[in-house]
Every structure is written in structure tokens, then in C-alpha cells.
Amino acid sequence: MLHSIPTDQFGPLGEPMAKAVSACVHCGFCLAACPTYRELGQEMDTPRGRIVLMKEVLEGTMSFEDAQPHVDRCLGCLACEPACPSGVPYRDLISPFRAVAASKMKRGLLERLRRFLAAQTVPYPKRFRVAARMARIGRMVPMPKAWRAMLELMPDTIPPAQSWTEVNPAIGAKRARVTLLTGCAQQVLDPDINTATIEVLTRNGIEVVVPRLQGCCGGLAWHTGDLAAAQRFARQNLEAFPDDVDAILTNAAGCGSAMHEYHLVLRGTPDEARAEAFRHHVMDVSVFLMKLGLREPLRETQLKAAYHDACHLSNAQNVSRQPRDLLKAIPGLQLLEITDSHLCCGSAGSYNMDQPAIASSLGTQKARNILATGAEIVVTGNIGCMTQVAMHLKKLGSPIRVRHTMQVLRDAHQPK
């Protein structure tokens, strides 16, 4: 596609956006993969349609405000990327475009306030814990639909806080040394995921360093167009994580995906080269474990488990086989596949707050497809997916538990 995008007007992000626009040949293979197209049936709510809109905005023939509704409805699930025969790097366009748009257009007061509150709470575990506990009170008060959707995501009870030592020694012969991102919302909503991750790793001979000065991955800020905040978080982690390790591990798909994009977040800054090197050390915990190989034998179970592909694991990081192989290593576990497993569950970071109707529809469909498997538990690798799926399973009256891959592995290690 030819374009006349004045890249110099959009700073360092102009070039990657223009390249992504140029790569699209309008073939339409992305349509069938796009959840919002399946929901809304509109051309402008497809990756192809949004690329046209963003191209026109960047070329100056359309206003940001006219394109905003359709761009906002994009989940950022990146299901379009593996479906695209031309290899369009959609991730190089959608988040940078939102960052540019944030400085060019005005949003309503209530929306600005909601985004501000989310930005000031979710990335900070202590603040988020307080906010999550207040959610029960908030649900009793009449609120705008988008705000109510945010409150409904919060579980009825918040688990006690957990903490992790900075250095967790390998058990037995040391095979590797890694660092672990502990996340933000995950620390509040299900801190046991980190505890299980550390236990699985150390039992397999891996020393785990939990940097004290680490912060939010910056994903929430980056995906909502707050470039300045995303850059602050990225720089904080570049400083916090040591480079004398075998890998920088994540156990939340959204966090891993965001850290893989630090080179874009910090493009054009003095930290760009460092961010480029950093991102190549970031790896999902399931990938690292499969590369190294499980050392500890796992006890037999008769569980029927359905595996849910988190979008930012399968689409953004091309990780789908490794979690399944880890689960298959548990003797007796029956691994079940979910119909339309490639479709987003509707979580997508702050999407539940931004587009509650679409998020709810996608969540309900995902929950029904999980129920159809006959599984006893559903396993995934992202706290956002876990929260979304658990909420919609509960709404359907299902007793199916939602567990992280590392929690299932940890439980398989434990004696009867």
C-alpha cells in the first residue's frame, strides 16, 4: 500500500507506524481472526479497516476523533498477526497510534477520570489492594456502566498479601539463574501464582532472583496511549533487572508482551539500544522450563483440564505448545481443547472498562466454550484472562476452577 504519511511529524514512532501501514495488502485474511469483527460485523472494526482509518489520520485526511471509536474497540489481542500472510506488524501500529492520538485529542471528563484512576491504582500493588477491597462497597452504589464493569471484575475476597525473598536458591544442583517479574494486579488478585512459579523453578534447580526495585511492566500505560508512563516503567525495569542471568522470566502474558515491546516504547531515546537487548532476554516461564526440561517427577492426577490460550502469549509471543507440553508431563492429566481457542476472552488489559459490552459478550462465549469441554479446571497463563474467565464461569453457575499453569505444576509436585 502506498502512503504519504509525514513520519517526521510523529517523532520516533512515525517510521514503524508507516511501515506497518505499507505492509497491509487488504487481503482480508485478518477478518475471520478478529474478535470484534465477529462481534460487530463492520469493516471498520477489523484490523484491515482500522489500518485504513489510522493511515488516513496519519496522512491528515481524517481526524483522530472520527477514527477513535473503531480504534478504541480494538482489543489489541494481535490475533490478526498470525493470520496475516503479509506479516503486517500490527503491534507496531496500534499502540504507537494510541500514544500519538493521546496527545492530539480530547476525551470526556468521566472517561479521563476513569483512566486516571486506573493508571494511578492498577500498576501499584498497595494502592490496587486498597481499591480492590473498596470494590465491594462500590458495587452497591449506582455508577456509570463502564465503572460498574470495572468493579464487577474484582473478586468478592482478596487473598492475603504475599512477599518473596530477593534470592531464592535452587534446590539441589543449580542448573540456571533467572529473574522474575512479579507483576502488579497479579500480586493482589492471585499472589500464589508467583509463589507457585518460584517453587516450580527452584525445585527444578533454578535460582530465582526477584529484583526489589522492579515495577509495573508498563503494559496498561502503553496499550492506552500513555507513552510517558510506559517509558517510566520501562526505564525502571531496565535499571532493576540484572543482566547476568540466563533469562528474565514473566508468568503473565500481558507483562511479557509489553516487555518485548520496550524497544518501541523507548524508541528514539538514549535507552533504545538497551531496551532492544533487554527484550531478547525476556521469556515466558513455560518456555524456559521446556528449554531446560523438568527435573522433578510429577505425581499422577485424574484431572480434566482445558487450556485457554492467552492472546498475549499465543499471538504476541508465539507461545502455545510449551504450556500444553508442561501440562501433558503430568501423568494422568487429560488436556482438553476449547472451541475457538484463538478468540480473545475479552479481558485485554483495561478493555473491560473501555468496552464493557463487547468484553462481556466475549467473556460469556469463552466461558460457554469452556463448559462444553467437560473440564474440571481451566488453565491459562495470564492473570487478566484468569479474572475474566472466572467471573463469567461464576455468572453461568459453573464450579470450574481457573488456575495458572505454574499452580497446576506446583500442585503436581506436592505429595499426596
> For the chain, which domains are there?
7-102 (1.10.1060.10), 109-152 (no CATH), 167-290 (1.20.1050), 298-413 (3.40.50.1860)
Q: Identify the pLDDT of residue 145.
A: 66
Integer Cα distance of 350 and 394 in angstroms: 20
Contact 186, 129 (CB under 8 A): no
Asked which of 45-49, 116-120, 314-318, 352-356 is least confident by mean pLDDT, the reply is 352-356
Give pLDDT tens digits for 179-193: 999 999 999 999 999
Which of 225, 132, 136 lies closest to 184, judged by CA?
132
Q: Identify the pLDDT of residue 135.
A: 77
Asked which of 27-36, 151-160, 249-258, 264-273 is least confident by mean pLDDT, the reply is 151-160
Beta-sheet pairing, 334-337 with 304-307: parallel
- pLDDT tier for residue 109 given thresholds of 50, 70 and 90: confident
Asked if pLDDT for residue 121 goes beyond 80, the answer is yes
Cβ neighbour number for residue 204 with a 10 Å cutoff: 21
The dihedral formed by the CA atoms of 398, 401, 405 and 409, expressed in degrees to the nearest 10: -140
Contact 205, 173 (CB under 8 A): yes
Give pLDDT tens digits for 219-243: 999 999 999 999 999 999 999 999 9
Contact 73, 40 (CB under 8 A): yes
Q: Identify the pLDDT of residue 105.
A: 83
Cell numbers 484472562 label which residue?
Answer: 385
Asked if pLDDT for residue 416 goes beyond 70, the answer is no
Average pLDDT of the chain is 93
Q: Give the rounded percent of residues in the chain with a pLDDT score beyond 90.
A: 85
Residues whose CB falls within 8 Å of the CB of residue 89, separated by 6 or more in sequence, listed in order: 16, 19, 20, 23, 81
Contact 33, 83 (CB under 8 A): yes
Q: Give the rounded percent of residues in the chain with a pLDDT score beyond 70.
A: 97
Give pLDDT tens digits for 351-364: 888 898 999 999 99
Q: Identify the pLDDT of residue 381.
A: 97
Asked if pLDDT for residue 414 goes beyond 70, the answer is no
Instruction: Tell me how long the chain is.
Output: 416
Residues whose CB falls within 8 Å of the CB of residue 10, separated by 6 or more in sequence, listed in order: 17, 58, 96, 100
Predicted TM-score (pTM) of this structure:
0.94
Beta-sheet pairing, 167-168 with 206-209: antiparallel
Contact 410, 196 (CB under 8 A): yes
Asked if pLDDT for residue 415 goes beyond 70, the answer is no
**What is the average per-residue pLDDT within 258-269?**
98
Integer Cα distance of 416 and 405 in angstroms: 19
How far is the CA of 306 from the CAs of 217, 270, 309, 369, in angstroms?
28, 45, 10, 10
Contact 84, 20 (CB under 8 A): no
Cell numbers 533454578 label which residue?
Answer: 206
Q: Identify the pLDDT of residue 153.
A: 75
> Cα–Cα–Cα angle for 23, 24, 30, nearest 5°?
130
Residue type for position 192: D
Asked which of 107-111, 152-156, 219-223, 303-307 is least confident by mean pLDDT, the reply is 152-156
How far is the CA of 134 from the CAs of 84, 116, 121, 226, 363, in angstroms?
43, 17, 12, 26, 24
Asked if pLDDT for residue 1 goes beyond 60, the answer is no
Burial class from Cβ neighbours inside 10 Å (0-12, 13-18, 19+) for residue 206 reads buried
Q: Identify the pLDDT of residue 146.
A: 63
Residues whose CB falls within 8 Å of the CB of residue 371, separated by 6 or more in sequence, listed in order: 393, 396, 398, 400
